[in-house]
Chains A and B, each alone.
Chain A
Amino acid sequence: MEKIEITTTINGNQVTKSVEPRLLLTDFIRHDLRLTGTHVGCEHGVCGACTILLNGAPVRACLMLAVQANGQSIETVESLGTPDNMHPLQTAFHEAHALQCGYCTPGILMTLKPWVEENPNPTESEIREALSGNLCRCTGYQHIVDAVKSLSS
């Protein structure tokens, strides 16, 4: 199929690439842009590992086509912080042992980034509901909940 040229803003940088229409946004981010922080789990919208921000709102990158990112703004986990200068969410996850293998973590962080800003004092059940769209097979979720709680003002 003929490739389509798209221009999109990724983590503040504008990029222009030619993509096949069937290229998923996850594969565009990982293979074409080499941003491998966004993980690919189930590829059908269940696990949440590929969650990114589209114009500031969390969405599944595996359920979007790269061509649909044309003209849009995307943020991935690479936009959060660096090992020397972590985002408060990343620091909270580090301190609460909120990850083991880390596979689900980028998706969870991107789900939570806007959520903790909108919900500065969440209850435990609100935190669990906010996390319901992200699967974690290691932690049993308790330490993730603890990490989010530790951010409460």
Chain B
Amino acid sequence: MKPAPFAYESPATLDEVLNLIAEHGDEAKLLAGGQSLIPVMNFRLAQPSMLIDLNGTNGLDHLELTADGSLEIGCMVRQSTLEKSDLIKKHAPLIHMTMPWVAHSQIRNRGTIGGSIVHADPAGELPVLMVALQATFELQKVGHTRQVVAEDFYIDLFETALTDNEILTKIIIPPQSDRTGYAFHEVARRHGDYAMAGVAAVVSVDQSGICTDARLVYLNVGPKPMLAKSAANMLIGQMITMELIEQTAEFAAENEIEPTSDIHASADYRRHLAKVLGKRALTEAVENI
């Protein structure tokens, strides 16, 4: 198996990248970690005429806390860097606890946060985390920069708000309130494989223990990260009990996901997993506050 021939560019600056994608449009593909793009090129399911390799581009792999408490993450930050970063552990514990679930260590050593986000695989963990943490993405093209929140970025199966001449340069994770708990659960046949279903839960409470915010986002039970808004609203303004968690998880699994059947799992089984994992994740998130 060999990729079809392509021209190769390894630009040193973001400006050069922007000019190249402006010139070549959808005939060129950006190469980040390559852990999804190279396999489809090896199978010749993708045959771009040009690869623009971002691995040698300066300034795309920063990871820092800004003055307002947000985390800024460059698109080329490796998944293994996220996994081991103390800054991530402290300020985005949901990312820290989920990274071991993202593929295998050898893949995480190459795979990048930006690559996973724009690849928009409905089974991917990072898109789900971004929606759960209300991340903002900075998208750039020649002469123009715009920001899109994660929730609006994902449109449909492998479809995002990114246009052909844009690149995701930066991910901004807003500061989370102090009394917030997080949890992530997924079920895969083998650790590191694509999960049959999974869910991230974020729950915030006030001083008296009343829920002030909740986010429940599912993976691989719909065409994109599935945000269960109505279910989460059932928690807001309430004292969280086991009974309420059960009702919430059940409502989300019945009404706010769109699982399909494939060789890995039936739609019914995925819905069952969503129900069980939703309950487990909400319970753990509340315990972690």
B residues within 8 A CB of A115?
Answer: 105
Contact between chains at A133 and B107 (CB < 8 Å):
yes
Q: How far is the CB of A22 from chain B (nearest CB, A)?
A: 4
Contact partner of A24 (CB less than 8 A), chosen from B2, B6, B10, is B2
| Cβ-defined contact, B51 with A43, below 8 A | no
A51-64 interface bits toward B, Cβ cutoff 8 Å, 1 = contact, 0 = none: 10010011110111
Q: Complex Cα distance A63/B2, Å?
A: 11
**B-facing residues in A16-70 (Cβ within 8 Å):** 20-22, 24, 27, 43-45, 48, 51, 54, 57-60, 62-65, 67-68
What residues on B are CB-neighbors of A59 within 8 Å?
A: 106, 109-110
Q: Mark B37-65, 1 if CB is under 8 A from A, else 0.
A: 01100110000000101010000000000
**Are B105 and A45 neighbours in the complex by a CB distance under 8 Å?**
no
Of the residues A24, A48, A62, A64, contact of B104 by C-beta under 8 Å: A48
Given contacts A21-B7, A44-B39, A60-B110, contact A129 B51 (CB under 8 A): no
Name the one of B6, B55, B80 contacting A22, with C-beta atoms under 8 angstroms: B6
Residue A111 lies at the interface, judged by CB distance under 8 Å to chain B:
yes
Q: Is B158 on the interface with A (CB-CB < 8 A)?
A: no
CA distance A60 to B55 in the complex (A): 16
Does B107 lie within 8 Å of A57, measured CB to CB? Answer: no
Inside 8 A of A21's CB, which chain B residues have their CB?
5-8, 51
Contact between A132 and B190 (Cβ–Cβ < 8 Å)? yes
Q: Nearest Cβ in chain B — how far from A28, in angstroms? A: 12
* 13 pairs, A vs B, C-beta closer than 8 Å: A1-B6, A22-B2, A22-B3, A24-B2, A24-B38, A44-B39, A45-B107, A54-B110, A57-B80, A58-B109, A63-B107, A67-B8, A68-B55
Interface residues, chain A, with chain B CB atoms under 8 Å away:
1, 4, 20-22, 24, 27, 43-45, 48, 51, 54, 57-60, 62-65, 67-68, 111, 115, 128-130, 132-133
Beyond A45-B39, A48-B106, A133-B105: 12 further Cβ-contacts under 8 Å?
A1-B6, A1-B7, A4-B8, A43-B42, A44-B43, A59-B106, A59-B110, A62-B42, A63-B38, A63-B107, A65-B38, A67-B8
